[in-house]
């Protein structure tokens, strides 16, 4: 009921006339200061959180709706004065959720209230940073700087960019983990919001990041003597990677020309990729993906592929997903290098991920993109790979089927094609799970379709290949018996989808055998 009330209040407040809006905001602020709340600290905190959240949501609605009406309702001096006093307490609060909500609300309010209000708030925040040494206050002020610049816009906040950057970079070197983490988080927002306008500060920012990387207080286990217990919850290196990623976007194609910036950025990202923390690795991988867009020749791609492949076996899902996404970018850019470095084993590892976790996004995209680019040149190799996938044995499936044999149960998920060894006393031959087998059959269909469409004559015309002195055992036509065997086996499977796809492959084989695109 409380949540529904907050949402409804947020929808309606920006639609009121200025006088009624001012009255509602005054009542809200008065309720937060009620002496009755002093007897119950928990209730006082709840009321304060609800009030701040309601204001933040109302300002979101105002920013997305009719600007003129919102400015008249929430941007007039009477309302902004009351809201500012309320939000000051939120920004300085020790609770991170309340501090973030208050900072966002202040930033959105600055975007509605005009230039005079914006300037006054920046001045107030600078004074707080200079005069107040409380970590919560300094962290809140840093967040407010980032929120104001992000929500006001580049044109309106342009003259204040230098001030914001200088303050945030100064707070970024503060030894207290709470302060430097949120200052760097805010700086990341500023870089992304400023975009090309941030170009004059790139060298200074890179220098600061290098300096911070050598500071013990900014290491994952660092922090002040009294606050080492919270350092683990404030992943500074991850935020540094986000800043570097934002800087790569600002520098853009100039990375190819500016060797100093390029080398420093690449060295930092490489160091972060070698960190033991999975969260840091994820951010570094995302950064190197962005770097590849502008300066691919500077990246050691084979080493990157090997590192991404090792990450695929991680128990940390975010690291696996980031590595898969990076492999997809790499295979789109250069499938040949992927084939040379990764080879069939990498593709088999990708298929194994479909067995173990079919929900991982991007695995099928990597395989499909790889196949699309290379199947026409070497269809036989892909057929061999799909054949291995469809008859592959895994230890987990052996254990599952052994249990099913004892209990007299039938596991369609593992059984799928139903390929078993002959003889009552022999162990059953296990296969991939049926969804992986289905995808392998779909790959066979794509191999046939791509090879025919590519017009590589020797794959469809053995006499022509012999006249040219080409080995025939690796041609597509020479693999027809294997394709027929896999198609017939699939067409007799227990799973209807596999049976249907097996018939599709069988149709492809017939079309390959009957096709005469070159009049031979």
- Confidence label for 517 from pLDDT (cuts 50, 70 and 90): very low
pLDDT tens digits, residue range 456-515?
A: 777 776 677 777 767 666 777 778 888 889 988 888 888 889 999 999 998 888 877 665
Q: Specify if 168 maps to a domain.
A: no
Q: What is the pLDDT of residue 50?
A: 92
- Confidence label for 392 from pLDDT (cuts 50, 70 and 90): low
Range ranked top by mean pLDDT from 182-186, 296-300, 432-436: 182-186
The whole-angstrom separation of Cα 26 and Cα 81 is 10
Average pLDDT over residues 260-288: 92
Task: Look at residue 519 and tell me whether its pLDDT is greater than 50.
Answer: no
Q: What is the mean pLDDT of the chain?
A: 83
Residue 151 in contact with residue 159, Cβ under 8 Å?
A: no
Q: What is the pLDDT of residue 410?
A: 47
Average pLDDT over residues 398-421: 47
Tally of CB atoms within 10 A around 56: 23
Average pLDDT over residues 128-134: 90
Task: Look at residue 431 and tell me whether its pLDDT is greater than 70.
Answer: no
User: How many domains is the chain built from?
Assistant: 1
Whose tokens are 């492959």? That residue is 505
- Confidence label for 380 from pLDDT (cuts 50, 70 and 90): confident
Q: What is the pTM of this model?
A: 0.81
Q: Specify if 104 maps to a domain.
A: no
- What DSSP state is assigned to residue 92? T
Q: What is the pLDDT of residue 419?
A: 41
Task: Look at residue 251 and tell me whether its pLDDT is greater than 80.
Answer: yes
Q: What is the pLDDT of residue 404?
A: 52
Q: What is the pLDDT of residue 443?
A: 92
Q: Specify if 488 maps to a domain.
A: yes
Q: Domain of 484?
A: 385-514
Average pLDDT over residues 346-353: 86
What would you report as the CA-atom Rg of the chain, rounded to the nearest whole angstrom? 31
Give whole-number Cα distances, 293 to 330, 370, 399, 429, in Å. 10, 19, 45, 45
| Residues 423-430: contacts with CB under 8 Å, at least 24 apart | 427/398, 428/398, 428/401, 429/391, 429/393, 430/392, 430/393, 430/394, 430/397, 430/398, 430/401
Q: Specify if 336 maps to a domain.
A: no
Q: Where does 221-277 have alpha helices with state H? A: 228-231, 236-251, 259-273
Give, in degrees to the nearest 5, the angle at Cα 56 between 55 and 61: 95
pLDDT tens digits, residue range 220-232?
A: 776 554 444 444 5
The whole-angstrom separation of Cα 105 and Cα 148 is 9
Nearest one of 446, 473, 445, 438 to 459, comparing CA atoms? 473
Q: What is the pLDDT of residue 367?
A: 92
The whole-angstrom separation of Cα 182 and Cα 140 is 8
The whole-angstrom separation of Cα 355 and Cα 433 is 6
The whole-angstrom separation of Cα 41 and Cα 275 is 42
Task: Look at residue 407 and tell me whether its pLDDT is greater than 60.
Answer: no
Q: How far apart are the two ends of the chain, measured CA to CA in Å?
A: 77
**Comparing 10-14, 86-90, 393-397, 460-464, which segment has the lowest mean pLDDT?**
393-397
- Confidence label for 403 from pLDDT (cuts 50, 70 and 90): low
Average pLDDT over residues 378-389: 88
- Non-local CB neighbours of 273 within 8 Å, separated by 6+ positions: 281, 284, 285, 288, 307
Q: What is the pLDDT of residue 515?
A: 58
- Confidence label for 282 from pLDDT (cuts 50, 70 and 90): very high
Supply 175's token pair.
């030894």
Question: Percent of the chain at pLDDT above 90?
Answer: 34
Residue 215 in contact with residue 179, Cβ under 8 Å?
A: no
- Confidence label for 400 from pLDDT (cuts 50, 70 and 90): very low
Nearest one of 384, 387, 300, 294 to 337, comparing CA atoms? 300
Q: How far is CA 490 from the centre of its chain?
A: 37
Task: Look at residue 340 and tell me whether its pLDDT is greater than 90.
Answer: no
The whole-angstrom separation of Cα 501 and Cα 161 is 59
pLDDT tens digits, residue range 291-303?
A: 999 988 888 888 9
Q: Specify if 321 maps to a domain.
A: no
Question: Percent of the chain at pLDDT above 70?
Answer: 85
Who wins on pLDDT, 126 or 516?
126
pLDDT tens digits, residue range 316-336?
A: 889 999 999 999 999 988 888
Q: What is the pLDDT of residue 232?
A: 57
The whole-angstrom separation of Cα 311 and Cα 460 is 40
Who wins on pLDDT, 516 or 383?
383
- Confidence label for 38 from pLDDT (cuts 50, 70 and 90): confident
Give, in degrees to the nearest 5, the angle at Cα 302 between 296 and 303: 100
Average pLDDT over residues 154-163: 84
Residues in the chain: 520
Who wins on pLDDT, 169 or 493?
169
Burial class (CB in 10 A: 0-12, 13-18, 19+), 227: middle
């Amino acid at each position: 009921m409380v949540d529904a009330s907050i949402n409804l209040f947020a929808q309606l407040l920006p639609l009121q006339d200025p006088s009624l809006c001012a009255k509602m905001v005054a009542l809200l602020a008065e309720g937060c200061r009620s002496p009755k709340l002093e007897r119950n600290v928990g209730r006082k905190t709840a009321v304060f959180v609800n009030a701040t959240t309601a204001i933040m949501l109302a300002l979101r609605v105002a920013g997305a709706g009719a600007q003129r009406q919102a400015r008249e309702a929430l941007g007039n001096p009477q309302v902004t004065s009351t809201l500012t006093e309320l939000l000051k307490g939120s920004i300085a609060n020790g609770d991170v959720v309340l501090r973030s909500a208050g900072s966002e609300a202040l930033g959105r309010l600055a975007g509605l209230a005009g230039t005079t209000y914006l300037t006054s708030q920046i001045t107030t925040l600078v004074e707080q940073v200079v005069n107040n040494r409380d970590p919560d206050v300094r962290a809140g002020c840093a967040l407010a700087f980032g929120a104001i610049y992000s929500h006001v816009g580049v044109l309106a906040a342009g003259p204040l960019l230098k001030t914001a950057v200088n303050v945030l970079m100064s707070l970024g070197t503060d030894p207290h983990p709470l302060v430097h983490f949120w200052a760097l988080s805010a700086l990341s927002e500023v870089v992304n919001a400023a975009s090309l306008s941030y170009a004059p500060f790139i060298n200074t920012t890179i220098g600061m990041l290098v300096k911070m990387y050598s500071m013990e207080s900014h290491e994952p286990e660092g922090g002040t003597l009294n606050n080492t217990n919270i350092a683990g919850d404030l992943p500074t290196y991850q935020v540094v990677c986000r800043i570097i990623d934002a800087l790569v976007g600002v520098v853009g194609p100039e990375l190819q020309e500016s060797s100093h910036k390029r080398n420093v950025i690449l060295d930092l990202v490489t160091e972060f990729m070698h960190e033991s923390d999975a969260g840091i690795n994820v951010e570094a991988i995302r950064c190197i993906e962005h770097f590849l867009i502008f300066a691919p020749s500077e990246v050691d791609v084979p080493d990157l592929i090997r590192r991404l492949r090792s990450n695929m076996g991680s128990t940390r899902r975010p690291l696996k997903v980031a590595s898969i996404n990076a492999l997809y970018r790499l295979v789109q850019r250069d499938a040949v290098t992927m084939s040379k470095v990764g080879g069939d084993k990498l593709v088999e590892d990708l298929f194994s991920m479909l067995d173990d976790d079919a929900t991982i996004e991007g695995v099928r995209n990597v395989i499909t993109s790889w196949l699309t680019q290379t199947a026409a040149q070497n269809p036989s190799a892909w057929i061999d790979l799909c054949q291995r996938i469809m008859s592959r044995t895994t230890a987990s499936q052996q254990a599952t089927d052994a249990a099913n044999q004892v209990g007299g149960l039938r596991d369609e998920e593992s059984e799928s094609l139903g390929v078993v060894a002959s003889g009552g006393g022999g162990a059953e031959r296990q296969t991939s799970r049926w969804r992986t087998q289905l995808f392998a059959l779909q790959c066979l269909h794509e191999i046939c379709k791509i090879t025919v469409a590519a017009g590589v004559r020797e794959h469809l015309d053995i006499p022509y290949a012999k006249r040219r002195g080409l080995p025939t055992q690796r041609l597509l036509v020479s693999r027809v018996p294997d394709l027929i065997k896999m198609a017939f086996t699939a067409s007799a499977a227990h799973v209807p989808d596999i049976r249907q796809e097996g018939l599709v492959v069988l149709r492809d084989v017939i079309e390959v055998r009957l096709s005469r695109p070159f009049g031979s």
